[in-house]
Structure 1
Amino acid sequence: MMGDWGWAGMAAGWSWVFLLLLLVGIATLVILLVRLTVGGVDPRRRGPAPGDAQAQARAILDERYARGEIDTAEYDERLGRIRGDG
């Protein structure tokens, strides 16, 4: 017999779960907003400055070499071109 509590008693029993989910959701939103506004990207993983075309080309070349898309000879040849060696 539920007595005087009825559905209100059951709802009060589960209200802490909803409160916890609400707090977790708010905390997640705050963290996301802070990361977006402050720039949550790790500075060590950032590429070269947008205006530095030579550094960007070198970064792309390094990535292609690391992935195995080009061999050492082609890497050295293209690196020389980027540096202006010929």
Structure 2
Amino acid sequence: MLDQVLLKNVMASVLEVDAVTLDMDSSMDNVPGWDSLRQMNLILALEESFGVSIPDEDAANATSYKLIALVLNEQLAA
């Protein structure tokens, strides 16, 4: 089961935003500073925090809170 609080906290830390500003609609398009470098750092932080390995293809496509949650749920279920 995905820990939404942990997900928000990790994302907020890497993206340097307040966790309360993140929701299912948050994405690279509407979160200031969420660029390709932060995307890579975010994936690494998520892998470490959740103890999973996110495949490169999923990492490249996980550009929103909703898609990241989906990828993490898949990895945690595996």
TM-score bracket, normalised by the shorter chain, equals under 0.3
Larger gyration radius, structure 1 or structure 2: 1
Structure possessing the higher relative contact order (Cα contacts under 8 Å, 6 or more residues apart): 2
TM-score, normalization by structure 2: 0.27
TM-score, normalization by structure 1: 0.26
- Kindly indicate which of the two structures has a greater share of residues assigned to helix: 1
